[in-house]
Amino acid sequence: MKGKSSFLDCIVFNLMILISAIFLCLTAVPVEAVEIVSLSVEKTEKDVYQIEAKIPILMELNRKNIQEKYNDLFRDNILTFIEYTIEMARQSQQDFSEAEFPMREFVGRVDFDLKNSSEILSIKFNYYQYTGGAHGNPYSLSYNIDLSSGKDLNLSTFLEQQDMTLIEVEELIKAEIKKNPDIYFQDDYGFQSLDEDQCYYLEGDELVVYFQPYAIAPYSTGMPEFRIKY
């Protein structure tokens, strides 16, 4: 009886493992590399504006609701930028024409870089707008999307997942700035601290925290980036 009982216990145990494995396969959300295609948009009106944009389209995600949500968001953001640039250019053309001043052609550009596509989709958008003056106005936006939940992770949330804190990252940034202080603003105008929603992206095994022009450094420095292993 003892041998028979042990045999039955073994069968039951193996069945439980099999059932658990099947359950996990059915309920888990597979995370896979993301395919992205680019939709090019060009709009031009001679001597008024020249706009070029690339809109990313996420493909082959297992969670179609996540795919549709961010495809809509990316498209709407870029189209809004295009429409706003055109509106400003036409208004400027009218104002300059009435004042009988020559107008410089407006320029708008948008492209994107896929930085990471495994588990967390990290995509960085690069915007550029020229509306006259000494130089154009570049800025960047990034999204760090947990492909299993669909949430766009802010910096604070991502750091919590890695058992890191904003204060730790702040100290690392300050240390990097000290290595080359001449290209950054100093004292009250320089880097102080990070916001929970500070811009960042993931690339390989690095967290890259970045700042817009003029945020912590002059325009000539560009967009300062700080790479941190995680």
201 pLDDT band (50/70/90 cuts)? Answer: very high
- Average pLDDT of the chain? 89
The architecture of the domain spanning 26-149 is: 2-Layer Sandwich (3.30)
Alpha helices in the chain (DSSP H): 2-27, 64-99, 155-161, 166-179
% of the chain residues with pLDDT over 70: 86
Mean pLDDT of 112-125: 96
60 pLDDT band (50/70/90 cuts)? Answer: confident
Residue 62, pLDDT score: 87
> Hey, which CATH number is domain 154-230, 3.40.190.10, 3.90.640.20, 3.40.1010.10, 3.30.565.10?
3.90.640.20
Instruction: Tell me the C-alpha distance between 141 and 56, whole Å.
Output: 14
**77 closest CA partner among 17, 127, 145, 113:** 127
Instruction: Tell me the C-alpha distance between 106 and 47, whole Å.
Output: 8
Residue 109, pLDDT score: 98
Residue 12, pLDDT score: 45
3 pLDDT band (50/70/90 cuts)? Answer: low
Tokens at 222, concatenated: 């560009």
Tell me the CA distances in angstroms from 17 to 3, 13, 14, one per residue in order: 21, 6, 5
Phi and psi, residue 3, nearest 5°: -65, -40
Instruction: Tell me the C-alpha distance between 122 and 58, whole Å.
Output: 12
Mean pLDDT of 80-89: 98
Residue 10, pLDDT score: 46
Residues 153-180 pLDDT 10s: 999 999 999 999 999 999 999 999 999 9
Residue 181 region by backbone torsions, left for phi larger than 0, else alpha for psi between -120 and 50, else beta = alpha
**211 closest CA partner among 175, 170, 151, 159:** 170
Residue 9, pLDDT score: 52
Domain limits, the chain: 26-149, 154-230
Q: How many beta carbons lie within 10 A of that of residue 174, not counting itself?
A: 14
Sign of CA dihedral 13, 18, 22, 24: positive
Instruction: Tell me the C-alpha distance between 102 and 30, whole Å.
Output: 57
Burial class (CB in 10 A: 0-12, 13-18, 19+), 85: buried
